[in-house]
A and B are shown apart, each in its own frame.
Chain A
Amino acid sequence: MMRTFRRGIHPLENKLTADIPLQEFPTPDKVYIPLSQHIGAPAEAIVKEGDEVKCGTLIAAAKGNMSACVHSSVSGTVLGIVQRTSARGTPVPHVCIQNDGRYEQERLNILENPSREEIIERIKEAGIVGMGGATFPTHIKYQTTKKIDTLIINASECEPYLTCDHRLMLDETDEFLRGVVYLKKAADAARAVIGVEKNKKDAYIKLKEKAAGLGIDVRLLKTKYPQGSEKQLIYAITRRFVPTCGLPSDIGVIVSNVHTAYSLCRAIELGEPCYKRAVTVSGGGVEQKGNFFIRIGVPYGYIYEKLRGNMVEDDTHKILVGGPMMGIALHSLEPVTTKGASGVLFLTDKEFYHEKETQCINCASCVRSCPMNLMPLEIEACILGGQEDRLEKYHVQSCVECGACAYVCPAKRPLLQAIRLAKQTIAKRRTK
């Protein structure tokens, strides 16, 4: 029986690149590696202008515990540390490296039969973060002192368009599964479950075949958005609820993404730190859609020029990093690929919405679609009406910002924006 969570939506999948195998992507002459690609404190640069680096050289060390190391993705000369705008539009220091085109490697030592501590240390050294998009430093997740019984690998990839995890499972099955084994050991979990959505049946069958001997369980889940949301995925697989302000580890579960497992396997078996990742490039604005291994620090403008083909430049009106439900819209082509960027979509006018909002008709579609069982229409009414006291009652902080409410709204109201504003309003009131 296929499992799932309550409520949720069924957006058009548009997985245009599901059949295109992963390929290596060329790298430009200069890469800009951001020092803050993760949640927490930015890493501290340890290289300076003129230093020679290789692929995998540590260029910025984790600062404090809630941080992650950053490595060079090319070999060449450091040109300096420059401020560039990130995808979110904020200025972030980037290490600019001149690519010498030789791609010489600097590897960590190869671990054989690593212990739990060694694996966690390797996660930290290799700068692995949650590669599904959240970019939470992975070693912190696994350092937990709580008893973990289940490791869940999030292979649902519920966002439309994105297919990089799907291709990773098909093209790099063995490395991925070995990565899952390492993660299971790092979590000290009794079982590991891979949750795959039904629209990736080919990956499910392939994994099922190979995972049997490794003590990994593969589960088929209903195709529904947001199946890949951590709390919903845990509920679908274990029927446990993550408490409102708690962590998955509170109920004995750790969730990691497919790419995290894959990167870990490479870090342990090849000693390769996390300096490139699988990225889906899709949308109507590019001719050569596909799934590529792209090094960290490649400007999106370079990707666009390489893949645009004969498409007219002015047809692309929206560029998204991530999927269309939760992704970030870029203001220019200046930002670069990061560890958390699982896809970049070049959308034409037809592929995103322009409708103007109309009056709320109180249909409660948003309430019926909310995976967290919130009332978006009431939250929006409070925000618009300035009723901050009333806002306190609606559990705004539980929102996972999946956007299901705004997706289903027939009046096209910007419900998620209202909820984000409500979150900030409440946070401000609480700190007063």
Chain B
Amino acid sequence: MKNLVVSSSPHIVSDRSTKKIMSDVLIALTPAIIASVCIYGLYSLLVLFLSIGSCVLAEFLYNLVRKKEQTIYDLSAIVTGTILALNLPPVVPFYVPIVGGFFAIIIVKMLFGGIGRNFANPAITARIFLLLSWGSLMTSFVSPVNFGEAGVMGLFSYFENIVNPNLPDAITSATPLAFAKGALQNGANPLENINMLDMFLGKTGGSAGEVSALAILIGGAYLLIKKIIDWKIPAIYITSTVIFTAIFYANTGYAGEYVYSYLFGGGLLFGAFFMATDYATSPNTFIGTIIYSLGLGLLTVLIRKFSPMDEGVSFAILLMNIVVPLLDKIIPKPFGAPKKTVKDLFLKLKTKRKSKDGEVCSTAAQISNSSVPFVKEEGGSDGKK
């Protein structure tokens, strides 16, 4: 017998891997991609390929220049590229996704240490960067292609805009959220002139991947079933947005209509399932996740109602992403730790300066459960520091 492997336990691991998780996310994004092609034609695929291509190329070049191990095979750059493309308006000049892709990967992801280390969601940050750089391009949304009129040729609509940054007014369309904003100022019904079913299916103006609530829900359900994402984030984010919308818009008399419009008309569903759940930028603990998701809901509604912008999802997610390191400072109590009462808190405050007393386990309970040989710890740490 030769070549015996000696290593410490555990000796088996699950078949989950970073690559598998990323490919599952890509599968979950597929319905939204299909929907965007069905609604806006093949131009959205072009944007998608440009975005993915620039993300992968950026990561490849970064690793090449920094002489690091190549990391593009974990598919995370493709995920970032896809999410970024689906976040853009359906028709943007070719350089927009390219700049966005490079910004997302190099500035937001790789400079901070690559996968898992980014401080904010790369796709969202890139989207906001593009929004600040090309405000009008990033807010002009084309109308869905009328396939009834254009037939198969409709698939090739908008290709003339590949370099032209200025879309003619004739083909632009207001998003449901822009309607809602206008309605708020006029005191009108936000769903006036809008077909509610079209809005759910995505036949309306908006970002390429965000318009079809149906497609996003299918993808989101896939992620939840495969347990790729934490169900608490989308569940609490969406619920709290609904509740806060109902509260903040109660005085308009159209609270129900606003809720519908905010739920299916903007980027809420896409953000809740695909962007707020980004592993690196969401909290690691139960309590942190709850605060994070509630904060997302509140900020989304506040921005949508009180800022001049129509949409608030990306800013809400970016802001809460920045809070996450703080939320991760909340360390949960281990199993079996005594429950803290208000009295204990006072005692803790009093004694905090005197000594830093940690728990010392030298008891048999600790040892009988552990596989390390018996190591006796000498006494506590009281007064020894």
Contact of A160 among B12, B114, B280, B365 (CB under 8 A): B12
Q: Which one of A193-201, A271-279, A320-328 is at the B interface?
A: A320-328
Q: Are A398 and B336 in contact (CB under 8 A)?
A: yes
B358 at the interface (CB under 8 A from A): yes
Q: Are B331 and A375 in contact (CB under 8 A)?
A: yes
Q: Are A406 and B10 in contact (CB under 8 A)?
A: yes
- Number of B residues contacting the other chain (C-beta, 8 Å)? 65
0/1 string, B285-310, CB within 8 A of A gives 1 = 10000000000000000000000000
B334 at the interface (CB under 8 A from A): yes
Q: Which of B79-102 contact A (CB under 8 A)?
A: none
Q: Which one of A120-128, A176-184, A203-211, A239-247 is at the B interface?
A: A239-247
Q: Are B372 and A317 in contact (CB under 8 A)?
A: no
B356 at the interface (CB under 8 A from A): yes
Given contacts A244-B361, A358-B74, A430-B377, contact A398 B368 (CB under 8 A): no
The residue of chain A having its C-beta at the shortest distance from the C-beta of B369 within the complex is A400
**Cα(A319)–Cα(B11), bound, Å:** 10
**Cα(A278)–Cα(B53), bound, Å:** 60
A333 at the interface (CB under 8 A from B): yes
Contact of A332 among B4, B17, B361, B368 (CB under 8 A): B4
Q: Are B368 and A407 in contact (CB under 8 A)?
A: no
Q: Known contacts A352-B11, A392-B356, A426-B358; can you find 11 more A-B pairs with CB under 8 A?
A: A40-B374, A241-B336, A244-B334, A246-B336, A332-B1, A367-B284, A373-B335, A398-B361, A408-B14, A410-B20, A430-B358
B9 at the interface (CB under 8 A from A): yes
Given contacts A244-B337, A330-B4, contact A400 B14 (CB under 8 A): no
0/1 string, B348-385, CB within 8 A of A gives 1 = 00000000101111011111111111110110110010
Given contacts A314-B1, A410-B20, contact A372 B10 (CB under 8 A): no
Contact of B4 among A318, A353, A414 (CB under 8 A): A318
Contacts across chains A and B counted by CB atoms under 8 Å: 235
- Number of A residues contacting the other chain (C-beta, 8 Å)? 96
Query: In the assembled complex, how far is the CB of residue B335 from the closest CB belonging to chain A, in whole angstroms?
Result: 5
Query: In the assembled complex, how far is the CB of residue A336 from the closest CB belonging to chain B, in whole angstroms?
Result: 16
Residues of B within 8 Å of A247, CB to CB, are: 363-365
Query: In the assembled complex, how far is the CB of residue B25 from the closest CB belonging to chain A, in whole angstroms?
Result: 12
Q: Are A394 and B116 in contact (CB under 8 A)?
A: no
Q: Are B10 and A361 in contact (CB under 8 A)?
A: no
Q: Are B363 and A360 in contact (CB under 8 A)?
A: no
Q: Are A401 and B370 in contact (CB under 8 A)?
A: yes
A261 at the interface (CB under 8 A from B): no
Q: Are B18 and A417 in contact (CB under 8 A)?
A: no
Q: Which of B5-24 contact A (CB under 8 A)?
A: 5-14, 16-18, 20-21
**Cα(A329)–Cα(B378), bound, Å:** 30
Query: In the assembled complex, how far is the CB of residue A377 from the closest CB belonging to chain B, in whole angstroms?
Result: 7
Query: In the assembled complex, how far is the CB of residue B62 from the closest CB belonging to chain A, in whole angstroms?
Result: 14
0/1 string, A1-27, CB within 8 A of B gives 1 = 000001001011000000000000000
Q: Are B369 and A407 in contact (CB under 8 A)?
A: no
B129 at the interface (CB under 8 A from A): no
Q: Are B5 and A318 in contact (CB under 8 A)?
A: yes
A299 at the interface (CB under 8 A from B): no
Q: Are A136 and B20 in contact (CB under 8 A)?
A: no
Binding site for B on A (CB under 8 A): 6, 9, 11-12, 39-40, 88-90, 130, 134, 136, 140-141, 160, 229-232, 235, 241-248, 304, 313-314, 316-320, 324-333, 347, 351-353, 355, 358-365, 367-368, 371-375, 377-378, 392-395, 397-401, 403, 406-412, 414, 416-417, 420, 423-424, 426-427, 430-432
The residue of chain A having its C-beta at the shortest distance from the C-beta of B330 within the complex is A375
Q: Are A364 and B13 in contact (CB under 8 A)?
A: no
The residue of chain B having its C-beta at the shortest distance from the C-beta of A347 within the complex is B11
Residues of A within 8 Å of B230, CB to CB, are: 364, 368
Residues of A within 8 Å of B6, CB to CB, are: 89, 329-331
Q: Are B335 and A246 in contact (CB under 8 A)?
A: no
For the complex of A and B, 7 pairs with smallest distance between CB atoms: A403-B10, A364-B284, A398-B334, A361-B116, A363-B279, A134-B368, A241-B336
**Cα(A363)–Cα(B17), bound, Å:** 11
Residues of B within 8 Å of A140, CB to CB, are: 364
**Cα(A136)–Cα(B369), bound, Å:** 10
**Cα(A28)–Cα(B384), bound, Å:** 54
Q: Are A395 and B368 in contact (CB under 8 A)?
A: no
Q: Are A353 and B12 in contact (CB under 8 A)?
A: yes
B333 at the interface (CB under 8 A from A): yes
Residues of B within 8 Å of A353, CB to CB, are: 11-13
Residues of A within 8 Å of B188, CB to CB, are: none
**Cα(A418)–Cα(B331), bound, Å:** 18
0/1 string, B314-338, CB within 8 A of A gives 1 = 0000000000000010011111111
Contact of A325 among B3, B9, B365, B384 (CB under 8 A): B9
Q: Are B12 and A325 in contact (CB under 8 A)?
A: yes
Given contacts A361-B115, A371-B335, A400-B369, contact A317 B12 (CB under 8 A): no
Q: Are B368 and A397 in contact (CB under 8 A)?
A: no
Q: Are A427 and B375 in contact (CB under 8 A)?
A: yes
Given contacts A40-B374, A397-B361, contact A231 B336 (CB under 8 A): yes
**Cα(A388)–Cα(B25), bound, Å:** 36
Q: Are B8 and A410 in contact (CB under 8 A)?
A: no
**Cα(A318)–Cα(B12), bound, Å:** 11
Given contacts A326-B10, A375-B285, contact A401 B372 (CB under 8 A): yes
Residues of A within 8 Å of B343, CB to CB, are: none
Q: Are B360 and A318 in contact (CB under 8 A)?
A: no
Query: In the assembled complex, how far is the CB of residue A346 from the closest CB belonging to chain B, in whole angstroms?
Result: 10
B340 at the interface (CB under 8 A from A): no
Q: Are A401 and B14 in contact (CB under 8 A)?
A: no
Given contacts A12-B12, A359-B114, A410-B20, contact A245 B4 (CB under 8 A): no
Query: In the assembled complex, how far is the CB of residue B273 from the closest CB belonging to chain A, in whole angstroms?
Result: 16
